[in-house]
Structure 1
Amino acid sequence: MHSNARTTVHARRLIVTRHAAGWAPARIAEQLGISRTTVHKWLTRHRHEGDAGLADRSSRPHLSPRRTPPEVEQRILTTRRTTRRGPVHLSGLLGLPASTIGRVLRRHDEPPLSAIDPITGAPVRRRHSGLRYERPHPGDLLHIDVKKLGRVPVGGGWRMHGRSETVRGRGIGYDYLHVAVDDRTRLAYVEALPDERDPTCAGFLHRAVEWFHRRRVRVLRILTDNAKVYRVGTNWRAVCVALGIRRRFIKPGCPWTNGKAERFNRTLQTEFAYARAWTSNIDRLAALPAWVHDYNTRRAHSALGGRPPISRLAA
């Protein structure tokens, strides 16, 4: 029953009872505060269907000639469960409107991506980020961060062999993925480096700015967390001064201020680092440049209306 219904099943039975007792439809309507048309509707239904005709009916139409065919719906569901991607990305894969895909997913009660594990598909709980913002021009602000990933042991780790075995990969160290994401375009530049010390970070920044410069983007400001290397690193400061870059820092205890880098790191984890079971660390590092290129030039980005980051640069 919808929230604005004037009658219940009890009221409809009362209409039938009083009409059988000799009440006129106009009097029944006045007494119950409804129209005479409504009274006649329920009397007619009871006459043709009995008490069953007084129950609520679904508002779903008898025919839906424009509804997505079942085979197409099944293809959408299969692709969603295989890739675990949203309607915008599925639209590019299947050649269907994202709005149609979204309706099909809701119709079949598919959980949102934020509520499932990106690898297993099992339900999880996630925290949602805050408000979205962006700078007006490319290069106005570059988000800088480092994502630390445990190295993959030769032959694969627990994702391939399971947790029941002896822990694999303990003590083999980490790869430090240095990330630079342009605030306006979401273009990303990534390098896998052996550490996050001052000379390493400074070298990364110099190469990142050069990479953006080749794409006609002049970096004016950078945003980082409050790590010591960014605050007082001698080499880091020297590169910023030499390139004329203004430094900004997030508010302590508020990592979401650097949200675009944090969001990119999550995408990098779910769609690259942990999207498959790697057999070696060398294989994973070798695949990183191609994945970043695909992210920049082909992957549909929901914040950009389903277009890749490179499209913002062309515009």
Structure 2
Amino acid sequence: MNSHKNASLTPRGREHLVKNIASQGARKAADAAGISTRTAARWKRRYQLEGVAGLRDRSSRPHRSPTRIGSDKTERIEGLRRNQRLGYAQIAERVGVSKSTVGRVCVKAGLAKLPPVQDSVPVRRYEKERPGELLHMDMKKLGCFDQPGHRVTGDRTRNTPRAGWQALHVAIDDHSRVGFSQVLRDETSHSACDFLIAALRYYRKLGVPIQAVMTDNGSAYKSRRFAKLLRRLGIKHKRTRPYTPRTNGKAERFIQTLLREWAYAYRYPSSDVRAAELQPWMQHYNFSRPHSAVSHKPPAFRLGFDGNNVLRNYT
């Protein structure tokens, strides 16, 4: 047992105290050790009864606890908490003990925080073996503005009336994590098709032919126009299960990164200025910014871009 930081004596010091009591007397030995005569007499008595073992620290826990609850009440408390998921006050009323006693029992049994009623869905991570095997696509609505809004100023009285909306369309390669995005006028099938063509051209310049596209079940991606374009291009269309955005998690995570590091990272004077800064940021994301899924290297590293070939990387 660890000695208290303010303890006057350690077990070794108590043994020395007992020897001094035998040679000098209790009062002188106690004064030299900086303790009372009564405390010195207690250590002497414990040494006489138990020897050196009696000079060690003991637990302050009482030998008897008359008000301590029995095992039957402990089991009932745990059962009510685990099976019926009752609160401390309800359990205390049913069992006939104090609320603090219920809390102490639950903490000891690991039931202070109840587990979820339903088990969480296990994480299933996947990654395609080659670039272009699967392209994740998604979109995010962004508000237009002619002056900074409350998100950066904190003033909700300043706004841009009837400013309208923009749509951020994103695409990200499953293997390399190389991304492509554009700010378009809306989220219709026309914009989705225009963005798909622009994305395919971008990846083709990088030497990445797209074989399949994964989207959610938005109206633009379920439209006949979008399906017809994919058939004409010979690209397979995969859709996520309804209400399971984690299936398209790479695109969802890419949107979060865009919002944090581009859309809301600076105080843009207008939404047009924000849109103009998108492509420079995308260049930084693909060729300079470290990505945790690519061993903390830029996504373009998996396409053979080593970061030093300026003409190849930026033309």
Instruction: Give the TM-score band, short-chain normalised.
Output: 0.5 to 0.7
Is 2:236 the partner of 1:246? yes
**Alignment match of 1:177 (pick from 158, 165, 168):** 168
Q: Aligned pair count?
A: 208
Structure 1 equivalent of residue 184 of structure 2: 193
1:138–1:31 CA distance, 2 compared to 1 (3 A)? farther
**CA distance in 2: counterparts of 1:215 and 1:229, whole angstroms:** 27
Determine what percentage of the aligned residue pairs are the same residue: 36
Counterpart for residue 255 of structure 2: 265
Instruction: Give the 5 Å matches for 1:16-31.
Output: 16-22=13-19, 28=52
Judged with a 3 Å threshold, the aligned counterparts in structure 2 of structure 1 residues 9 and 198 are, in CA distance, closer, same or farther, namely same
TM-score when normalising by structure 2: 0.60
Secondary structure of 1:248's counterpart equals strand
| Alpha-carbon displacement from aligned partner over 1:102-154 (angstroms, at most 9, x marks no partner) | xxxxxxxxxxxxxxxxxxxxxxxxxxx9554321110111110001111122x
Q: Hey, what does 2:310 align to over in structure 1?
A: none
* 1:213 Cα deviation from its structure 2 partner: 1.4
Q: Given that residues 14 and 55 in structure 2 are in contact (C-alpha distance below 8 angstroms), is that contact kept between their aligned partners in structure 1?
A: no
User: 1:201, 1:297 → 2: CA distance?
Assistant: 25
1:300 aligns with 2:290: yes
CA distance in 1, matches of 2:213, 2:15: 78
Q: 1:130, 1:256 within 8 Å by CA — same for their partners in 2?
A: no
- Distance change in 2, residues 1:278/1:21 (3 Å): same
Residue of structure 2 equivalent to 1:134: 127
Q: 2:209 aligns with which of 218, 222, 237?
A: 218
Aligned residue for 2:154? Answer: 162
Matched, 1:290 2:284: no
Quick one: structure 1 residues 15 and 169, their matched pair in 2 at CA, closer, same or farther if it must change by over 3 Å? same
| Residue 227 (str. 1) matches residue 223 (str. 2) | no
Secondary structure of 1:138 counterpart: coil
Give the distance between the partners of 2:296 and 2:221, measured in 1 at CA. 34
Residue 206 of structure 1: how far off its partner (Å): 1.8
Shift of 1:274: 0.6
Contact 2:15 2:55 in 1 (8 A): no
Distance 2:266 2:123 in 1: 29
Structure 2: 5+ residue runs without aligned partners?
Answer: 20-46, 57-121, 306-315
**CA positional deviation for 1:310:** 0.8
Tell me by how many angstroms 1:279 deviates: 0.7
Q: How does 1:2-151 map to 2 (within 5 A)?
A: 7-9=1-3, 13-22=10-19, 28=52, 130=123, 132-151=125-144
Instruction: Tell me, in whole angstroms, the C-alpha distance in 2 between the residues paired with 1:30 and 1:242.
Output: 91
Task: Tell me whether 199-208 or 258-267 shows the greater mean CA deviation.
Answer: 199-208
**Matched residue SS, 1:195:** coil
Residues 138 and 183, structure 1, Cα contact 8 Å, conserved in 2: yes
Taking structure 1 as reference, are residues 29 and 140 closer, same or farther at Cα in structure 2, changes over 3 Å only? farther
Residue matched to 1:277: 267
Aligned to 2:304: 314
